[in-house]
Copies of this chain bind each other. A is one copy, B any other.
Amino acid sequence: MSSPLSLPPVMAPVLTPFARDLSTDVERFVRLCRWLIGAGVALAVFGTTSEANSLATAEKLDLLDALAAAGIPGDRIVPGTGCCAFPDTVALTRAALAHGCAGVLMLPPFYYKNVSDDGLFASYAEVIERVGDARLRIYLYHIPPVAQVPLGVPLIERLLLRYPSTIAGIKDSGGDFAFTERLIRTFAPRGFAVYAGSETFLLPTLAAGGAGCISATANVNPAAMLSLARDWRASDAAARQEALDAVRQAFQKFPLVPALKAALARGTGDDGWRATRPPLVRLDDAARATLFAALPAGFLPPSIRPRRRGFSSAPRSARR
């Protein structure tokens, strides 16, 4: 696995498309991944936005194989591999290494709540020891609003002390920038990459010395995020951050995954993108209308429709 420095500062937790029978749709998945790679961002496949925990381990392994078969380079892929049961986490992490992935994003086991730091340390250690590969780079995944199992500074200290070359960074989806700053101040000097979990914090994260963001909205707005991340010292950076925020705020009025899928369906002309697995539910027509009206004028077509490679699977007649 390559060092965090080789990864772009923006990663997309890639939306997972489903067929009518809710099986994973490999073809649509590869198309979206190619488009995102073309936009310059890395692929944090199997994240919260990807409905990863609504997929069986075998389904994730198949999707990873499909990316390799499609020639998508492993050094642009950081799959989420953290499951409740370590045999699943180990299997996915080994597969990520076999595919030459740049790293893995690893949730703690998230069923039990109020677990001890000893238990969380053991969870990560068990996987690291079983995988037993010096190339492994783990990005911890702190997302207390969803997993309800936070990762604190003392735990990260302990993991870094024991596995300094393996523990490569964190995605902080806690929504508390003071904590993000503290992570950066405490760990970034040791080469630990701190990614904000939302582009809302992209500029302040970069200004504080963080690595960038891994954000749901990167599925539909990758170029603008990457542009700010690469040029965050530019004089118009604050304005560009505001433009990102306007898009984010429109999506955040709705359940995020169904809203992003609705936008992708609209932008690509491929209504099949709307499908979610339960317990998530697709946006209804009224919500979609409100969402599209709330998005900044002209957002959808230029952001989502690809310029070069064919992206849409809509019939030719539906395209311009």
- Residue ranges of A at the interface with B (Cβ–Cβ < 8 Å): 22, 48, 53-59, 84-88, 108-113, 115-116, 118-120, 122-123, 125-126, 145-149, 277-281
Contact = CB atoms under 8 A, between A and B. Distances in A.
17 contacts: A53-B84, A54-B85, A54-B111, A55-B85, A86-B277, A108-B279, A110-B110, A111-B146, A112-B280, A113-B146, A116-B279, A119-B278, A120-B278, A122-B279, A123-B278, A126-B278, A149-B279
B111 A110 contact: yes
Contacts of A149: 279
Which interface residue of A54, A55, A118, A120 has the most chain B CB atoms within 10 A? A54
Nearest to A125: B278
Nearest to A110: B111
Nearest to A119: B279
Nearest to A277: B86
Contact of A147 (B111, B123, B147): B111
Contact of A280 (B56, B119, B146, B281): B119
Contacts of A118: 281
A139 B103 CA distance: 40
Contacts of A55: 85, 87
Contacts of A115: 279-280
A27 B221 CA distance: 54
A87 B56 contact: yes
B145 A84 contact: no
Contact of A56 (B88, B112, B145, B277): B88
A109 B56 contact: no
Given A111-B110, A113-B145, A279-B112, A84 B54 contact: yes
Contacts of A22: 86, 126
